[in-house]
Amino acid sequence: MTLFAKFATLKQGFGQLNALGNNPFALTFDDVLSPTEAILKGRRVLLLGTNNYLGLTYDPECVRKATEALQKHGTGTTGSRIANGSYSDHSRLEAALADFYGRRSCMVFSTGYQANLGMLSTLVGKGDHLLVDADSHASIYDACNLGRAEVLRFRHNDADDLDKRLRRLADQPGDRLIVVEGIYSMLGDTAALREIVESEIDALRALYAGRL
């Protein structure tokens, strides 16, 4: 099958969507007015899908500081930190965030996608085990594919199912990393963190007893 033939079905579906005049991939605003409002085909509409949770994109202080940074440093860093070093403002931001959260240090990523990719693919690798809530965000699944750890899905917010899977790993070497989210993006519910931690603490103690 050629590369183009592979996409024939997708193309057909996309054509049908376009014919309805409701192609979600072609949504272009005439203007975006605020964190929550825009103009779309001449109509004022509410923005309910953005993750501009704190509305900081229009906060006057943020706009002023971002403008100052642009004037001083230009429109981009033009290279990665690892290759070129860090801007002192980025390091100060990380120190301030670490201080706010009461942590020794922190690392800022510019998107959630990159944070998940960066952290998950680094923390575990070949021979380790990732236990992932089945309803995790797509970026977590991408991150799992990038690392080389074994990926095991447990039922959404189900501490017993997680427990069962952890116990099955009892004889296997390698680290285990449990991945849950603060708020599940598609469901809107929160992680059952208390239940998961309480139920896992004994299982993890037993698993690591010989290794700590």
Ligand X SMILES: Cc1ncc(COP(=O)(O)O)c(C=O)c1O
Choose between 36 and 185: whose C-beta lies nearer to ligand X. Answer: 185
Give the residue nearest to ligand X (CB). Answer: 112
**Least gap, CB of 125 to ligand X (angstroms):** 21
Choose between 1 and 186: whose C-beta lies nearer to ligand X. Answer: 186
Contacts of 62 (CB under 8 A, 6+ apart): 56
Q: Which residues bind ligand X (CB under 6 A)?
A: 51, 111-113, 116, 137, 139, 181, 185
User: Whose structure tokens read 């009461």?
Assistant: 102
Choose between 66 and 138: whose C-beta lies nearer to ligand X. Answer: 138
**Least gap, CB of 27 to ligand X (angstroms):** 16
Determine the Cα–Cα distance for residues 188 and 181; give it in Å rounded to an integer. Answer: 11
**Least gap, CB of 96 to ligand X (angstroms):** 20
**Least gap, CB of 17 to ligand X (angstroms):** 22
Q: Residue 75 pairs with which residues in a beta bridge?
A: none
Q: Is 96 exposed, middle or buried (0-12, 13-18, 19+ CB in 10 A)?
A: exposed
Choose between 84 and 122: whose C-beta lies nearer to ligand X. Answer: 122
Choose between 71 and 80: whose C-beta lies nearer to ligand X. Answer: 80
**Least gap, CB of 130 to ligand X (angstroms):** 15
Choose between 150 and 181: whose C-beta lies nearer to ligand X. Answer: 181
> What are the DSSP calls for 177-196, one per residue?
EEE--SB-TTT-PBP-HHHH
Q: What values do phi and psi take at 194, rounded to 5?
A: -60, -50
Contacts of 24 (CB under 8 A, 6+ apart): 17
> What are the DSSP calls for 98-152, one per residue?
HHHHT-S-----SSHHHHHHHHHHHH--TT-EEEEETT--HHHHHHHHHS-SEEE
Q: Is 152 exposed, middle or buried (0-12, 13-18, 19+ CB in 10 A)?
A: middle
**Least gap, CB of 54 to ligand X (angstroms):** 14
